[in-house]
Chains A and B, each alone.
Chain A
Amino acid sequence: MTQRDQNQDAQLDDLFAAARRDAPEPGDAFMQALFDTIPEPNAATAVIEEPVSLGWWAGVRQTMADKFATRNIFADASVLTGVIAAGVFGVWIGVNGGDIGGISLNPFEAQGLDIVDPFSGLDLSYVDGGA
């Protein structure tokens, strides 16, 4: 860059600086007028940005948290009834030793096979602690 170019650049920079200084400052009345353009927030029209997806488990946790947080879980009666029925059925199977009305739930026994304990001697040694 020649001396002449540098001088011209400097003069142009000087003109830009003069134009910036010459610009009026925004006054208080103008700023107040700008504040007055702000509408009162309206909750009905407010839109919350969709959160970024956190993955499948996070979705399940969030759904459960929402259910309990809103305390409407009892409104979803079909889900609750199913959970209670499954629990009662499980207890009943335990009490009856896996035999429901003469039908065994043990697949080996249903096919006429006996179950053999391959570690029949292990009980005592385990109880004795192997000593």
Chain B
Amino acid sequence: MVKDTDISLGDLADNALLVLFANGSKPAAMELTRRLGPKVFRHAYYRLQNKSDAEDIAQEAFLRLWKIAPDWKQDQAQVATWLYRVIDNLCIDRLRARRPSSSLDDLKNDPVDPSPSADQSMLDKSRARALHTALAALPERQAQAVRLRHLDNLTNPEIAQIMGLSVEAVESLTARGKRALQAQLHGQKTALGYENDTA
């Protein structure tokens, strides 16, 4: 067995780290968590718009990952791809079970930021809220493709793997999603701080 001290874990691919963990290396699992934990958390947050829900979902996804680790095949799938897929499914379940007003409650409880950048922060918040509202109104697959491409910054081939689609289908979904978002947000330009725009 490869010892943790023989190699730099930071140089290994995600899949290799998971196989190492399955063979008894806890440091490999910690490296994988450090690498993917923040990404997985943000992905859940973009979908749920609630920090504590996103944390719960991320923890649940990692618990499932450790559980299936002994059966993981290196050539089967990418760990990140698998995690994003699990997160999406868990978010759907969470949204179905959630009270309709909970995300608004969460926003009301946000502390007021007294720093000089508070104006920018407030503007970001209102723009983010408008975007997430518009995304929620899109067909599910379109919204998922747009989130993965423009919020998680994944490539089209990565999104194709997560969604089980061809790259061309992902490109089409993303383009249609963006057009639909532009149409929805067109009437809110002034509220979103684009009043000087001539378009």
* Interface residue A34 (Cβ < 8 Å from any Cβ of B): yes
Contact across chains for B33 and A34 when beta carbons are under 8 A apart:
yes
By a CB distance below 8 angstroms, the chain A residues around B130 are 15
Closest A residue by C-beta to B55: A30
Report the contact-size class of chain A (Cβ under 8 Å from the partner).
35 or more
Closest B residue by C-beta to A33: B59
In the assembled complex, the CB of A48 is this many whole angstroms from the nearest CB of chain B, namely 6
**Which among B34, B46, B199 is the interface contact of A4 at CB below 8 angstroms?**
B199
Tell me which residues from 82 to 118 in chain A have a Cβ below 8 Å from any Cβ of chain B: none
By a CB distance below 8 angstroms, the chain A residues around B22 are 46-47
By a CB distance below 8 angstroms, the chain A residues around B104 are none
By a CB distance below 8 angstroms, the chain B residues around A13 are 150
* Interface residue B178 (Cβ < 8 Å from any Cβ of A): yes
By a CB distance below 8 angstroms, the chain B residues around A42 are 24
* Interface residue A78 (Cβ < 8 Å from any Cβ of B): no
* Interface residue A20 (Cβ < 8 Å from any Cβ of B): yes
In the assembled complex, the CB of A94 is this many whole angstroms from the nearest CB of chain B, namely 48
By a CB distance below 8 angstroms, the chain B residues around A47 are 22-23, 70-71
Report the contact-size class of chain B (Cβ under 8 Å from the partner).
35 or more
Q: Which stretch, A21-29, A62-70, A120-128, touches the partner chain B?
A: A21-29
* Interface residue A81 (Cβ < 8 Å from any Cβ of B): no
Contact across chains for B125 and A41 when beta carbons are under 8 A apart:
no
Contact across chains for B33 and A12 when beta carbons are under 8 A apart:
no
**Which among A7, A21, A45, A49 is the interface contact of B73 at CB below 8 angstroms?**
A49
* Contact A26:B38 (CB < 8 A) given known A16-B150, A33-B55: yes
Mask, B21-47, CB within 8 Å of A = 1, is: 111111001100110011001100110
Closest A residue by C-beta to B179: A8
Closest A residue by C-beta to B58: A34
By a CB distance below 8 angstroms, the chain A residues around B23 are 41, 46-48
Q: Which stretch, B86-94, B136-144, B189-197, touches the partner chain A?
A: B189-197
**Which among A9, A23, A26 is the interface contact of B37 at CB below 8 angstroms?**
A26
Contact across chains for A37 and B74 when beta carbons are under 8 A apart:
no
User: Mind listing 18 A-B residue pairs with CB under 8 Å?
Assistant: A11-B194, A16-B151, A19-B132, A21-B124, A22-B128, A23-B42, A23-B128, A26-B37, A30-B41, A31-B33, A33-B59, A35-B30, A37-B66, A38-B26, A39-B66, A46-B23, A48-B23, A49-B19
